[in-house]
Structure 1
């Protein structure tokens, strides 16, 4: 059995660079799809931007991904979802902060980060299977395997929930890593400089006060809280 050849950077599938997704600082830019998907899969919250009544609005939402489709959901009465279902343009951003970058001068303070910026058009998910699969994806994005550990969703709950899909049409990742970049003459100064790492971790699970006695922590949650 032979291993399939690994794709080189030039062979990787990328998003086309357009006036919408082009990042000004080229060394921070990445248009590779695998890089963008990895950021989305690690993130937890998407900041969703759209225009309502000629005013910009940005709201944080849980999300799920299936291929190049992002899904968000909420109550049918939610103003945001009622607007998005009309098929309006949206922008989503997911950012992971990896550290504070502290230079010798305040001017050179920044952060190490990985961000995914996405542009697409919202659409209402009406197909029942796609809607179900989307809700599974959103749930399992928070804690992989969690959907199968919960009771079956009722028809009433499904009917009360609106799911919006956004196809990733244009996108880019912006990434910064490494030490501060100070002015050359500042490196001899007596000012501390360096990085303060930042990481997201999950603490021990806390039982609901009304949890049935003797029930162990669910497997998906046990795996989540054991991540290092």
Structure 2
């Protein structure tokens, strides 16, 4: 479900998606949430097994308001999510944009963009949806790549599993501010400011066949 905030489509707010601190940094706007999800590569999938919490890093892709999370058919989350009841999960994505240095140790911080999604994940079993999900997982990192490579064969598909999570209970939280020094610290002889953090993509390096020209979708990289 979604509502509308200031004319922009938004996901519904719930107690689990409403932060208890720095509420002004939170948003439920779909466009903002989708932009963060589309800008990162790795998510962290949290779930409970035998009463103990487990958090696994993995790749993912967004298709509309649906998140696809990659895994192996033999992994614990895939086994738990294979039934009709699915598996309760929490999926998080974080991008770090700057280290925030202040004159006091306490006020140090990080500029970031993050998304937290709660819900029940289900293993994708429909062959057509699985094709869409696997192509999205490849194209999420390298747009256009899925049409330029050999698709997975039967053996590879048997070893690969994908979780589907509907983005219903989801929010984003960001910090995009300068360093904030306390007034009493203003004259201290310590440096304060920002150290920007960026991801740099290098020139593609061929593996072994240097006669294959660099494809167009890589010549235009980074995304």
Q: Is TM > 0.5 for Structure 1 vs Structure 2?
A: yes
Give the conservation status (yes or no) of the 8 Å contact 1:73–1:163: yes
**Residue in structure 2 matched with residue 39 of structure 1 by the alignment:** 36
Q: Give the superposition deviation at 1:155.
A: 2.7
Q: Give the superposition deviation at 1:18.
A: 1.4
Output the CA distance in 2 between the equivalents of 1:140 and 1:44.
Answer: 11
Q: After superposition, where does 1:52-201 map in structure 2 within 5 Å?
A: 52-86=49-83, 87-201=86-200
Corresponding residue SS for 2:33 = helix
Name the stretch that deviates more: 84-93 or 142-151. Answer: 84-93
The counterpart of 2:14, out of the listed 18, 38, 44, is: 18
Name the stretch that deviates more: 152-161 or 167-176. Answer: 152-161
For normalisation by structure 2, the TM-score amounts to 0.92
Give the conservation status (yes or no) of the 8 Å contact 1:85–1:122: no
- Name the count of aligned residue pairs: 217
Corresponding residue SS for 1:134 = helix
Unmatched tracts of structure 1, length 5 or more? 1-7
Corresponding residue SS for 2:18 = coil
Q: Does residue 223 of the first structure (1) align with residue 220 of the second (2)?
A: yes
Unmatched tracts of structure 2, length 5 or more? none
Give the conservation status (yes or no) of the 8 Å contact 2:58–2:71: no
Q: Give the superposition deviation at 1:9.
A: 5.6
- What is the root-mean-square deviation in Å for CA atoms of aligned residues? 1.5
For normalisation by structure 1, the TM-score amounts to 0.90
Deviations 1:186-205 (A, max 9, x none): 12222110000000111121
Output the CA distance in 1 between the equivalents of 2:82 and 2:115.
Answer: 23
**Residue in structure 2 matched with residue 5 of structure 1 by the alignment:** none
Name the structure where strand makes up a greater proportion of residues. Answer: 2
